[in-house]
Chains A and B, each alone.
Chain A
Amino acid sequence: MFWTILLILAGLAVMAYFAGRSRSGQIVDGDYSKLHSRPSFHGGFLVIVTVLPASFVLVVWSIAAPRLIDSAVISQSASVVSGLGKPELDVFLRDARAIAFGGIVGFTDDAKEQAAELFKTYRSYSEVGMTVVMAALVALGFIYGFRKIAPRMRARHVVERTTMVFLAACSAVAIFTTIGIVLSLIFESLLFFRQVPVFDFIFGTHWSPQSAFEGAGAEAGDVNSEIFGAIPLLVGTMLITMIAILVAAPIGLLSAIYLSDYASRPVRAVAKPVLEILAGIPTVVYGFFAALTVAPAFRGFGESLGLSVSSESALAAGVVMGIMIIPFVSSLSDDVINAVPQSLRDGSAGLGATKSETIRKVVLPAALPGIVSALILAISRAIGETMIVVMAAGLAANLTVNPLEAVTTVTVQIVTLLIGDQEFDSAKTLAAFALGLLLFCITLLLNIIALRVVQKYREQYD
């Protein structure tokens, strides 16, 4: 029903567009220069007044109608449902709907049959009502719009304002989604913090949520809050991120300098896209590259030096992650280095500075804010990365800063907490949301710092 009507509306929109366009030509006898707005704007105007109100009604009706029907059915069958709890009521309504519109029915009884009849009637009322309302809206809108078209009518303003509202609505979707995600993180985390104190979570040094429950059966609800210490995970995350940045920052920055100031045009035309392809490789590919190639290589090399390197090491994961984020650093830095005005380079060269002196003493200081924000973006990316760490760094929550040992990160633990069959109200699963919130706060902080740095130094050259 919904899709059919939508299709009809789309067809009407096309018709209205052409009707509006030709009407606008008609009223000025083909002398388009007399029109305030171009004919296509008149077409757009007619589309807006014809279809937009009906579409709005369609969406609202489709969302609201089932709820209204449910409550109407419940009030009609009050004698049957009054004694039912919420789960039983849901089952009752589900079965009744299944009887009415087809589906898998639990079991049938008279009350449900009756309710099903009600569903059928109300549903048909609703459909007829919606169709009538929409047909009326379309017709009225079309007539109003068609008569409104006149040489001095400001159709362009209407179309542009509607477009603006539409664009704003699109960006609102992104904003509200973000807010929704953050709120759900916060509420789930609050549930977790009811069982485990915030202090224990943030400052605890022991992490083993798999052994969260002592005893079994009825006693299994007791939560030992001391094993939800996030410190080992944070240390693991920081260690791997640090290694990644130690790899990515110099390589990325130096290649950016080469690309922007030394590379000839053909070299740059090839090298830059190739470097950016690195960013397009799926992280899972990096993951098995880390686990199957890099980690054993490090292990072998370490053994030849007499070091004991665990087969899943922070070093392997960090190095591969560093390679993964090189394009973030190099591409963004390349852009900001290119944005440093040529006049500064000329000024420096005119004083007898060599190219490398110019880059070190003039270009890089001028580009520093951009470079810093590139690095911070790369760090946020590294902190949020999961796949490589799952495959190459292991799951053991060791509290260590030795890069040769296995460590684990916040993201990896979120994954392990949520895979498999889980109840969604145990401390163990809720811990994943708390970790998510922690991660979100850290990356948010880094992004704010990056923005601040950029704003503070942006106006320095001009």
Chain B
Amino acid sequence: MSMDATMNPMAAAAAEIADMGASAVTADGDPIKMRGEKVCVHYGDKQALFDVDLDIRKRQVTALIGPSGCGKSTFLRCLNRMNDTIDICRVAGDITLDGMNIYDPSIDVVELRARVGMVFQKPNPFPKSIYENVAYGPRIHGLARSKPELDDIVAASLQKAGLYEEVKDRLDAPGTGLSGGQQQRLCIARAIAVSPEVILMDEPCSALDPIATAKVEELIDELRENYTIVIVTHSMQQAARVSQRTAFFHLGVLVEEGPTQDMFTNPRDRRTQDYITGRFG
């Protein structure tokens, strides 16, 4: 199923406008989905990010790695303005989605988050049934005109998240009753259900056991066909397994960014080398 077919009308219109304005490509020819330019973030007096320039390539998995407190999650949360909920947080610089500045006052943050979905570190299903968890997003955005249509969206989202076979007989059971790995895939299904273009994942496997982690990683690899994915991870093996591009952050600075293969075999920066070889972090 192609991306454009699942895109909701609102997002499709926005994407069209954006495509006319700027269909930017990187130097090596990959189309750019999101772009951060000179992104600085302050929490009160403390600066957490320093002039980060990072391109997120369309339909690729970009991994953000780095030691704790390096600003990778902060950058991730800037991409769908989740930092807005933190009072003391200030964001400077430009972040664009298909050429549109997402911090522009004319941008509706609700619309933005429908296009840039998010999966959190700890699985956080709502205390509702599995069906209601997935149907939540489509309902608030009015994506389904009828109950059968909504059923289809829910089933399709669960299928894409690789959870459908496990839960199809108990869609009315509470989502909180699933195992940790299933809960996280439910949260991914919930994010997919609103047909986002970009999915942000903030250490999605850190609360999961190895088997559940493997399933989620496999899923991320499949989702790459239709979605642009940005994933924050502490596990370098995970970054190596699932991502095409890797960005290494250290102390609020983007140290280096490049194809994952090169990054792990042939890092350009000394700090990157120290981190991936486990000298610190």
Could you say which of A343, A347, A366, A461 has the most chain B C-beta atoms within 10 Å of its C-beta? A347
Q: Which has the most chain A C-beta neighbours within 10 Å: B112, B118, B119, B174?
A: B118
Does any Cβ of A come within 8 Å of B80's Cβ?
A: yes
As a 0/1 sequence over residues 320 to 359 of chain A, the CB contacts with chain B under 8 angstroms (1 = contact) are: 0000000000000000000001011111111111100100
Given A351-B137, A351-B190, A351-B191, CB of A346 within 8 Å of CB of B110:
no
Q: Which of A272-289 contact B (CB under 8 A)?
A: none
Q: How far is the CA of A353 from the CA of B190 in the complex (A)?
A: 12
Q: Across the interface, which residues of B come within 8 angstroms of A347, CB to CB?
A: 120, 124-126, 187, 190
Instruction: Establish whether residues A344 and B124, one from each chain, have CB atoms under 8 Å apart when the complex forms.
Output: yes
Q: Are A461 and B191 in contact (CB under 8 A)?
A: no
| Residues from 87 to 131 in B contacting A, C-beta threshold 8 Å | 87, 110-114, 117-120, 122, 124-128
Q: Are B117 and A351 in contact (CB under 8 A)?
A: yes
Across the two chains, which residue of chain A brings its CB closest to B85? A349
Chain A hits for B128, CB < 8 A: 365
A349 touches B120 (CB 8 A): no
Chain A residues, Cβ within 8 Å of B120:
343, 346-347, 350
The docked-state distance in angstroms from the alpha carbon of A344 to that of B120 is: 10
* In the bound complex, CA of A347 to CA of B117 (Å): 10
Given the interface contacts A357-B140, A361-B136, A461-B176, does A350 sit within 8 Å of B118 by beta carbon?
yes
* Closest A residue to B119 using CB positions: A350
Asked if A211 CB lies within 8 Å of chain B CBs, one says no
Q: Which residue of B lies closest to A368 (CB)?
A: B127
* In contact, A343 and B140 (Cβ under 8 angstroms): no
Q: Contact: A351 with B124, CB < 8 Å?
A: no
In the docked arrangement, what's the CA distance between A343 and B127, Å? 12
In the complex, are the beta carbons of B114 and A351 less than 8 A apart? Answer: yes
Contact status A348-B110, CB under 8 Å: no
Q: Which residues of A contact B117 (CB under 8 A)?
A: 350-352
Binary interface profile of A, 126-153, with partner B (CB < 8 Å = 1, else 0)?
A: 0000000000000000000000000000
- Interface residue ranges of B134-179 to A (CB < 8 Å): 136-137, 140-141, 174, 176
* Closest beta carbon of chain A to B155's beta carbon, Å: 18
Chain A, residue nearest B115 (CB): A352
Give chain A residues whose Cβ lies under 8 Å from the Cβ of B194. 351-352
Determine the chain A residues whose CB is within 8 A of the CB of B140 once the complex forms. Answer: 351-354, 357, 361
Specify which of B87, B122, B191 is in contact with A343 (CB 8 Å cutoff).
B122
- Residues of chain A in range 345-393 having any CB-CB distance to chain B below 8 Å: 345-354, 357, 361-362, 365-366
* A460 on interface, CB distance cutoff 8 Å: yes
Task: Establish whether residues A460 and B174, one from each chain, have CB atoms under 8 Å apart when the complex forms.
Answer: yes
- Given A350-B113, A351-B114, A352-B114, are A341 and B174 neighbors across the interface (CB < 8 Å)? no
B204 to chain A, nearest CB (A): 12
CA of A337 to CA of B106 in the docked complex: distance in angstroms?
A: 32
> In the bound complex, how far is the Cα of B82 from the Cα of A362, in angstroms?
17
Q: How many residues belonging to A are interface residues under a CB distance threshold of 8 Å?
A: 22
Instruction: Give Cα A421 to B125, complex, Å.
Output: 65
* CB atoms of A462 and B176 under 8 A apart: yes
Residue of B nearest to A362 (CB): B126
Q: Mark B210-247, 1 if CB is under 8 A from A, else 0.
A: 00000000000000000000000000000000000000
Contacts of A361 in B (CB 8 A): 136, 140
C-alpha gap A345/B122 in the complex (Å): 13
Evaluate whether A366 and B126 lie within 8 angstroms (CB atoms) in the complex, with A347-B187, A352-B140 already known: yes
CA distance A461 to B187 in the complex (A): 15
Does A346 lie within 8 Å of B114, measured CB to CB? no
B247 to chain A, nearest CB (A): 21
A165 to B124, CA, bound (A): 43
**In the complex, what residues of A have CB within 8 A of residue B114's CB?**
351-352
> Which residues of A have CB within 8 Å of B80?
350
Residue picked from B80, B113, B120, B126, most chain A C-beta under 10 Å: B126
- B82–A346 touching, CB < 8 Å: yes
User: Once bound together, how far apart are the Cα atoms of A202 and B110, in whole Å?
Assistant: 57
Residue of B nearest to A363 (CB): B126
The smallest C-beta distance from B135 to any residue of chain A, in angstroms, reads 11
Q: How far is the CA of A343 from the CA of B120 in the complex (A)?
A: 8
Cα–Cα distance between A461 and B127 once the two chains are bound (Å): 6
Q: Are A460 and B124 in contact (CB under 8 A)?
A: no
Find chain A residues with CB under 8 A from B174 CB: 460
* B280 nearest CB across to chain A (Å): 30
Chain A contacts for B141, CB-based, 8 A: 352
Minimal Cβ-Cβ distance residue in B for A460: B127
Report Cα–Cα, A351/B122, bound state, in Å.
Answer: 16
Whole-angstrom distance between the alpha carbons of A352 and B117 in the complex? 8
**Closest CB in chain B relative to A215 CB, distance in Å:** 66
Q: How far is the CB of A126 from chain B (nearest CB, A)?
A: 67
Give every chain B residue within 8 A of A461 (Cβ-Cβ): 127, 176
**Inter-chain pairs besides A357-B140, A365-B128, A366-B127, 19 sampled, C-beta below 8 Å:** A344-B124, A344-B126, A344-B127, A346-B82, A348-B136, A350-B82, A350-B119, A350-B120, A351-B117, A351-B118, A351-B136, A351-B137, A351-B140, A352-B137, A353-B137, A353-B140, A361-B136, A361-B140, A460-B127
3 interchain residue pairs of minimum CB distance: A350-B118, A352-B114, A352-B113
Chain B contact residues, CB within 8 Å of chain A: 80, 82, 85, 87, 110-114, 117-120, 122, 124-128, 136-137, 140-141, 174, 176, 187, 190-191, 194
Enumerate 9 A-B pairs (CB-CB under 8 Å) in ascending A order: A346-B118, A348-B126, A349-B82, A349-B113, A350-B191, A352-B111, A352-B141, A352-B194, A365-B127
